[in-house]
Structure 1
Amino acid sequence: MRVGIAQIDADSLCDDLDANLEVLSSITAEAAERRIDLLVTPELMLTQYEPRLAARQAWRGSELRSKAANIAAAHQVGLVFSTPELDSQAVKPFITVTLCDRRGVRLLHHRKRVLFGDAERLRFGAGGEESGLANFDGFMVGLALCYEVEFPEVIRSLAMRGADLVCIPTALTASMPGQVSEQVTEVLVPARSVENQLFIAYSNYARPKFSGHSMVSGPLGVRTGAGHHAEIFYDDVTLAELKSSRALNTYLEDIP
């Protein structure tokens, strides 16, 4: 399966959500030209990652998800995208991630359970359930969002339930003194892949506002990654690689 990552420039997005949908359509069209099967995009791309603005647009979340699914169907590319979501039973909206297949059919939807910082916690509620798994081209796929990958329990739970690939939209900001942004991409994301013997597709925004370094990592670490600039790239992943590596690196079997 060819897994694509869209590391986009945050400045290409704006307050006009229809314009942001056009950006999604454009990068999905490019993914189709490259014969990408599944394209992963950054966190809250369709509203911009700015918690105050995204929360204000949560009432349009259902519309955004429907139009994004139509884009997937139009270009026949599977899509992973992130939107805010209102729930009449909840006080605050949620940050969510959705997986659609090539026909635009929604396979998975996950509400972010581990919110990052006061800006998110003030405006969004935490989801209550773990991501489910869905079959995409023979791979069992799970979902997570940004900060969640920094907690080993999140990815381990998906692995123990049979995940082969975890897709993670993120909005990891550029490092400041004392922060661990670089360690997340250089250490934690690859470690999650190795210790759980699965693939991770991690899609971030480009610099200067965000840290870049999107990647596809696998059971032996980073396979394909971006630098700081905007780009679309892909990696061809196989179940045979997982089977071979899991036979040698039996972490999941040997959990004490």
Structure 2
Amino acid sequence: MRIAALQMKAVAGDVEANMARIAAAAADAATGGASLLVVPELAVTGYGAGEAAFADLASPASGDTVARLSAVARENGIAIIAGFAEREGTAVYNSAVFTDGIGTNAVYRKSHLYGEYERAAFKPATPASVLVELGGLRLGMLICYDVEFPENVRRLARAGADLVVVPTALPEGASGTFIANHMIQVRAFENQVFVAYVDHCDSDGLFAYAGLSRIAAPDGALLAEAPAQGEALLFADIRPADYEASRAENTYLADLDRPA
């Protein structure tokens, strides 16, 4: 299965501009043969919309934002995973939705909020394994900081995920560069899964982003990577059968349950 990942320069607080950008990327990804498009954390609202704005921009999982993303998916014949601000009652979550446009929607809520900015805007969710099937593969979702806790990726891998999709808003700087250049490949290798890590780029006025989006394979190799600056639409073919030798050599998951 081919996937596409949009390293995106979102417009902070402008849902219409961001939805238009996602729709354009969906068309380009479908033309490129992708079955799935992944866009960054809070791509619909922009990560830098501001703590107070998220409450106004948030939409229920059954609301307009997901309906519009589903329509884009249906029109282009491609599934989409996109970050958005989700409202449930008085609570607002930093969420990501999977929609295939033909009736399958699934929402993952970020469990590990990063910094005072996120903690002021969102409610943390209980860690959960949200998996969906697409093209014969099982996809698990995390958001940004969640992937930096190895337990989260391991939980999805043990639940049978082939691909872990991580919309992110990784900040520019030494830590961000290290996470992108080293941690993502390690998470893929130590769990023998594919990892798609999809960031914003440039600056939105509040934050500057690392870019460096990437798609890593189970053997730790990079299938696609974006530069630090500027938008990029990445493509990668996700073929688990190509990595049977890697799984046979690196038996971490099987050895977790092996009797002492």
Q: TM-score, normalised by structure 1?
A: 0.91
User: What residue number does 1:79 align with?
Assistant: 80
Give the Cα–Cα distance (whole angstroms) in 2 for the partners of residues 133 and 207 of structure 1: 31
Residues 16 and 200 (structure 1), Cα distance of their counterparts in 2 relative to 1, 3 Å cut: same
Residues 157 and 60 (structure 1), Cα distance of their counterparts in 2 relative to 1, 3 Å cut: closer
Amino acid at match of 1:94: Y
5+ long unaligned stretches in structure 1: none
Amino acid at match of 1:250: T
Give the Cα–Cα distance (whole angstroms) in 1 for the partners of residues 13 and 88 of structure 2: 22
Give the Cα–Cα distance (whole angstroms) in 2 for the partners of residues 14 and 111 of structure 1: 20
User: What residue number does 1:225 align with?
Assistant: 225
The Cα of 1:85 is off from its aligned counterpart by: 1.0
Give the Cα–Cα distance (whole angstroms) in 2 for the partners of residues 55 and 146 of structure 1: 20
Task: Please say if residues 44 and 54 of structure 1, whose CA atoms lie closer than 8 Å, have aligned partners that are also in contact.
Answer: no
Amino acid at match of 1:73: R
User: What residue number does 1:100 align with?
Assistant: 99
Q: State whether structure 2 residue 118 is matched by structure 1 residue 156.
A: no
Q: State whether structure 2 residue 214 is matched by structure 1 residue 215.
A: yes
User: What residue number does 1:141 align with?
Assistant: 139
Give the Cα–Cα distance (whole angstroms) in 1 for the partners of residues 68 and 102 of structure 2: 9
Q: State whether structure 2 residue 120 is matched by structure 1 residue 122.
A: yes
User: What residue number does 1:67 align with?
Assistant: 68
Task: Please say if residues 44 and 82 of structure 1, whose CA atoms lie closer than 8 Å, have aligned partners that are also in contact.
Answer: yes
The Cα of 1:6 is off from its aligned counterpart by: 0.2
Q: TM-score, normalised by structure 2?
A: 0.90
Residues 72 and 132 (structure 1), Cα distance of their counterparts in 2 relative to 1, 3 Å cut: same
Residues 205-240 of structure 1: per-residue CA shift (max 9 Å, x gap): 123521011010011112211112211010111021
User: What residue number does 1:31 align with?
Assistant: 29
Amino acid at match of 1:243: E
CA RMSD, Structure 1 to Structure 2 (Å): 1.6
Task: Please say if residues 198 and 242 of structure 1, whose CA atoms lie closer than 8 Å, have aligned partners that are also in contact.
Answer: no
Give the Cα–Cα distance (whole angstroms) in 2 for the partners of residues 100 and 7 of structure 1: 19
5+ long unaligned stretches in structure 2: none
**Number of paired residues?**
248
Task: Please say if residues 219 and 245 of structure 1, whose CA atoms lie closer than 8 Å, have aligned partners that are also in contact.
Answer: yes
